Amino acid sequence: MTTELPPQISRYRELVDDWPAFVEALRRPLPTDLRWNPFAVTREHFEEMLARQGLAWTRLPASPDLYRVEGLPCPGLTWAYHLGWYHPQGFTSTLPPLILSPQPGSNVLDLCAAPGGKTSQLAAMMMGHGVLVANDINYNRISILAANLERLGVPNALICRYRGQNFPERFPFDHVLVDAPCTGEGTFRLEGGRYREDDADARLFMSRIQLGILRKALRVVRPGGHVLYSTCTYAPEEDEAVVAAAVEEADAEVEIVELPVDMPGQPGLDAWEGRTFPGGLSRTRRFWPHHTDSWGFYCALLRRTG
């Protein structure tokens, strides 16, 4: 079995703890993960529905509302989907809201909210109480965001349209999620994905957008509040380098919060291609497909201390 991958993925070979396992994970189809929606149905009735449909399922302990289901080829074509009983959402995609961990009554901003999976998960964690602002810039994506929030019965979300970099600073938030636009390398699986040609300019272009959005997040979060930065790419230029620059340039003191060591994946990088990052980037987390059987993801939790 060949382990050859496109250059933009092979460049990470030295970063991955088990390259053959990583490649093998990319050769497997993604599992079907469904996030139960408490706004629409009780957990008991949801599990009864899965059983009646003859579907085998397991719950993922690291994401307590997520069910890994076998035998459901088209999760968006069922009556339960259209009634909002669940939302198809890969395991690693559920981690940013779980790490951010908003409580009921919080004021929360999702700066890059469409298509709404993480937004609706945040609302469920808040039990529908508090203010949840869902922002995006793209009209087409906002229509999908609105449709998903309506289907899932989210009661406490307000949708707005700003460039993330230009979001108004009139109101401080307890928590801000920045699930940033990125080159999307982590969403590729060899059975169903396709890479563009390797393009360092694209990584640089995206990193500038990401840095602008993360800077804004650190300005609109209240002192003591948290910002969760995530991407679905492996590129350090879009991950650790963006976090390092945002922390260095922030108007206020910012702490990189260490993520639980028992989470799957590997610590973030302290250096890349001759560049050394400031201390604390190893507290962030890289989630590789062979650790999670899901998308590749990166997460960093920041706390504004001043």
Reference 173, options 220, 121, 104, 136; nearest CA is 220
pLDDT per residue rounded down to tens, the chain (306 residues)? 444 677 888 899 999 999 999 999 998 889 999 999 999 999 999 999 999 999 999 999 899 999 999 999 999 999 999 999 999 999 999 999 999 999 999 999 999 999 999 999 999 999 999 999 999 999 999 999 999 999 999 999 999 999 999 999 999 999 999 999 999 999 887 555 556 677 889 999 999 999 999 999 999 999 999 999 999 999 999 999 999 999 999 988 999 999 987 888 899 999 999 899 988 999 999 999 999 999 999 999 999 998
Answering whether pTM is above 0.85, one says yes
Residue-level pLDDT at 262: 80
DSSP letter string over 165-224? GG---SS-EEEEEEE-----GGG--TTT--PPPP-HHHHHHHHHHHHHHHHHHHHHEEEE
Residue spans of the domains in the chain: they are 92-304
Contact 254, 303 (CB under 8 A): yes
Residue-level pLDDT at 194: 59
Whole-number Å distance between alpha carbons of 117 and 157: 13
Contact 129, 107 (CB under 8 A): no
- Residue 169: phi, psi to the nearest 5? -110, 25
Q: How many angstroms separate the Cα of 65 from the Cα of each of 19, 34, 89, 123, 205?
A: 31, 8, 11, 13, 36
Reference 11, options 187, 184, 198, 190; nearest CA is 198
- Which of helix, strand or coil describes residue 83? coil
Q: How many angstroms separate the Cα of 116 from the Cα of each of 93, 113, 178, 290?
A: 11, 6, 13, 26
Q: Which CATH architecture has domain 92-304?
A: 3-Layer(aba) Sandwich (3.40)
Residue-level pLDDT at 279: 80
Reference 283, options 267, 296, 272, 297; nearest CA is 267
Residue-level pLDDT at 263: 86
Contact 156, 129 (CB under 8 A): yes
- Which of helix, strand or coil describes residue 46? helix
- Which of helix, strand or coil describes residue 79? helix
Positions marked catalytic: 232
Residue-level pLDDT at 187: 87
